[in-house]
Copies of this chain bind each other. A is one copy, B any other.
Amino acid sequence: MHATKQRLIGAGLPLLLKHGYNDLGLQALLADTGTPKGSFYHHFRDKEDYALQVVDAYMAQVHAGLDACLGDSTKDPLVRVRSFFEMVQQSYQVEGYMGCLLGGLGQELSGISDVFRQKIEGCLSVIAQNLAGCLTEAVVLGQIAADTDVRRLADLLVNCWEGAALRSRLRRSPSSLDEMLDFYFRAVRVADR
C-alpha cells in the first residue's frame, strides 16, 4: 500500500474513535497527517470510501487477533475465546477506553446509511462466526450444553461486548468489560449443569 494511503488509514482509527464519522473533518485529517487534499482524493473516492477502508484495516487487525487467540487447539476453547476479548481490551486501554470502532460507527450511521449498516453488521457477524467455531469445540468437550446454538451464543457475546464497550467509553474505564466477560463465561460454563 502507498505510504500516504497507509498514513491516512492509520490516522483514521483514533480520529474516527474520538470524533465519530460526521464530526470528523477532512481538513483536520489532512492537517493532522500533512496530506494535500488532492492526494486524499487520489487514494479515496470520498469520505465514505475512506471510513470504509479504515474499517477494513481495523478488521484486518481483528482477524489477526482472532487467528492468534482462537487458533491454538491445544488450549481450552473457552479460554481462547476470552483471550481474544482480553486482547481487544488491551487495545482499548492503549486508546484510552474510547470503545469499539464498529459499535461507534454502527450506532452513529446505521440510521442514515445502509452502506454502513450492512458493513458493520457484516463485521460483527463474521467475528461471531469465528467465535462460534471455538464455542463448538467447547460443546464437543462438554463445557457448554450440547443443545446450545453456538452461533447465537457467539452473537450474544459480541453484542454484550459492544454494550460493555459503550459503557467503558462513557466511563473511560475497563470495569464494564471485565464484569461482562466474567458474567458470560460463568453463565456459559454452567449452562449444562
CB pair A17 B111 closer than 8 Å:
yes
Tell me the nearest residue of chain B to A22, going by C-beta. B22
Selected interface stretch from A2-10, A39-47, A136-144, A153-161: A153-161
| Oligomeric state, in copies | 2
* Residues of B close to A22: CB separation below 8 A: 20, 22-23, 108
User: Which residues of A approach B to under 8 Å, CB–CB?
Assistant: 17-20, 22-23, 98-99, 103-104, 106-112, 117, 120-121, 124, 152, 155-156, 158-167, 169-171, 176, 179-180, 183, 186-187, 190-191, 193
In this complex, which of A104, A159, A186, A190 has the most chain B Cβ atoms within 10 angstroms of its Cβ? A159
Check if B156 sits within 8 Å of A20, measured CB to CB.
Answer: no
CA distance A43 to B63 in the complex (A): 50
In the bound complex, do residue A20 and residue B107 qualify as a contact, i.e. CB atoms below 8 Å apart? yes
Tell whether, in the assembled complex, residue B155 and residue A167 are in contact, meaning their CB atoms are under 8 Å apart.
yes
Chain B residues with CB under 8 Å of A180's CB are 156, 159-160
Chain B residues within an 8 Å CB radius of A179: 152, 155-156
Can you report 10 A-B residue pairs in the complex whose CB atoms are below 8 A from each other? A20-B112, A22-B22, A99-B110, A103-B107, A104-B108, A107-B108, A155-B167, A156-B183, A162-B162, A187-B187
Q: How far is the CB of A152 from chain B (nearest CB, A)?
A: 6
Query: Which listed residue (B104, B117, B121, B158) contacts A107, Cβ 8 A?
Result: B104
**Known contacts A180-B160, A186-B187; A167/B108 CB under 8 A:** no
With A111-B98, A124-B170 already in contact, the answer to whether A159 and B187 are too (CB < 8 A) is no
How far in angstroms is the closest Cβ of chain B from A92?
13
A167 surroundings in chain B (CB, below 8 A): 121, 124, 155, 158-159, 162
Residue of B nearest to A96 (CB): B111
Q: How far apart are A180's CB and chain B's nearest CB, in angstroms?
A: 6
